[in-house]
Amino acid sequence: MILSLTILFFWILLIVTIYLFKDYLHPAIIFCLPWCVFLSVLRKTGYAFDSNSYVYLYFLLGGVIFVIGTTLGNRIVVKDIRITNRIQSYYPNYFFLKTIIVFDILFTIYTLVSYYRFIRANYVENFFISFYMNKAEFGAFGFISYGRNVVLATVLCMLIGYSHVPEEEKKRYKKYLVVQTLFYFALAMTKMTRNGILSSILPIVTAIIIVSKARNKTIIKWFIAGGLGFIALFSVVSVYKSPYLYKNNNVIDVLLRQFSLYGTGGFVAFQKKFDSNLFQHLGGKNTARTLLAIYDAVFGTNYAPPLIQEYTVIGNDSVTNVYTFYYWYTSDFGIIYALFIQFIIGIFHGKIYRQMTEYKLMGIYNYCIFLYPLIMQIFQDQYFSLLSNWIQLLVFGILLLKTNLLFSRKTENKSNFVWYISE
């Protein structure tokens, strides 16, 4: 009964946000959609869950709180049009672009050779299994992760700045942009995880949608195409990562179970933890995890909680170690604290959405990179857990968009410039 009411009111909440904001890029709409879809299919999974658990009401309350937070953060942007009075022309720094492409070439070669040598030395079954069984020993992984962030930030800033590059410069600039993007996608594939590849590609696709000033119909087409592409990628990685599941079973059935597990397993696992009060009561360690990890690295201690959680049996011969966004903060100080964090995150997304609609380039950049943790809320926390990663990307974005490193600027007054983003 409680689950049914939660599903009903979540769909009502989604419809209300669509009516209020009329912009499919609005964070409230992007937040509500996956919760509505995956909660709606939960009953079909066969998992052992309690549909009368009060935890589902907390999920709904968290959705309402997030929508309120985004509304306060963006103060309800003017519907249908986005207006700015000052347009800056961005003149590319070609010396920097040539330098970064040389870095891309060297870094890509280094990454591919490192992966090849590591997997060859630890080969088991296929390259996915070979990597994951021994990746803790991959000493260069940290450096490669930092390098990928440099390339992501550069590609993203180049895409965002493209619309401000003068027409006479665009043909030459586009060549650098295409080359940089190709290198980036090659590096993104080496992440070899579904989440890793999603976090790499989603910001780029979102930036293209925003800079092209897409209307709602086009946004839907992009996200449908992107969703189908990710489903195909998810299927391929699932088969290679766990070939033992598919050798003597129907591939379609196993893939459906995998999608069901990843989409809805977190709800059931969190409900079991919540109803049994099986939380670790960490007293803020999840929220402060990045600071604790730095302290551990300096002093050789072990205070930071692990990112990978223990598995929970959820029925139907399935186990999972994902528990939704709320698990991390409920483990710190309880469910009220988790809802408070959701409210703060809602305000944050509302603010960067407002900056994006005003066509502030740093606002577009922030919106693109933080769309990933927003979508991942139904699985796990990606905000404070990956805080060091977001700090790196923010620093790189500031260096590239707030200085003359990538572009020099010339401001013009154009009072009638209008950016249409929705119908």
pLDDT at residue 78 is higher than 50? no
pLDDT digits (tens, 9 = 90+) for 183-204: 888 888 777 777 777 888 899 9
Lowest mean pLDDT among 50-59, 127-136, 302-311, 331-340: 127-136
Q: Which amino acid is at 4?
A: S
pLDDT digits (tens, 9 = 90+) for 351-371: 999 989 888 889 999 999 999
pLDDT at residue 138 is higher than 70? no
Q: At what angle do helices 2-21 and 55-74 cross, to 10 degrees?
A: 10
Lowest mean pLDDT among 38-42, 119-123, 226-230, 250-254: 250-254
> How confident is the model at residue 70, as a pLDDT?
93
pLDDT at residue 181 is higher than 80? yes
Q: Which amino acid is at 249?
A: N
Instruction: Look at the pTM and tell me if it is higher than 0.75.
Output: yes
**CA of residue 192 relative to chain centroid, distance:** 16
pLDDT at residue 399 is higher than 80? yes
> How confident is the model at residue 155, as a pLDDT?
92
> How confident is the model at residue 141, as a pLDDT?
67
Task: Tell me the torsion sign for CA atoms 204, 208, 211, 214.
Answer: negative
pLDDT digits (tens, 9 = 90+) for 221-274: 888 887 788 778 777 777 766 666 666 667 777 778 888 888 899 999 999 999
pLDDT digits (tens, 9 = 90+) for 315-349: 888 889 889 999 999 999 999 999 999 999 999 99
Strands 318-320 and 407-413: unpaired
More reliable by pLDDT, 27 or 90: 27
Q: At what angle do helices 27-40 and 2-21 cross, to 10 degrees?
A: 150
Task: Return the closest-CA partner of residue 241 out of 126, 119, 124.
Answer: 126
Tell me the β-bridge partners of 420. Answer: 81
Contact residues for 419 (Cβ-Cβ < 8 A; gap 6+)? 81, 82, 83, 84, 213, 357, 359
Tell me the β-bridge partners of 412. Answer: 87
Q: Compute the C-alpha angle 334/195/186, nearest 5°.
A: 150
Which residue in the block uniquely carries the two structure tokens 């050779």?
113
Residues 150/102, Cβ–Cβ less than 8 Å = no
> How confident is the model at residue 245, as a pLDDT?
63
Contact residues for 421 (Cβ-Cβ < 8 A; gap 6+)? 23, 25, 82, 210, 213, 214, 215, 216, 357
Q: If you average pLDDT over every residue of the chain, what do you get? A: 84
> How confident is the model at residue 83, as a pLDDT?
41
Note down the domain range covering 393.
Answer: 2-420
Annotate 120-156 with DSSP letters as a single string.
HHT-BSBHHHHHHHHGGG-TTHHHHHHHHHHHHHHHH
Q: Which two tokens stand for residue 189?
A: 């594939």
Compute the distance between CA of residue 96 and CA of residue 100 in angstroms, rounded to an integer: 6
Task: Return the closest-CA partner of residue 83 out of 422, 418, 420, 423.
Answer: 418
The total domain count for the chain is: 1
> How confident is the model at residue 57, as a pLDDT?
94
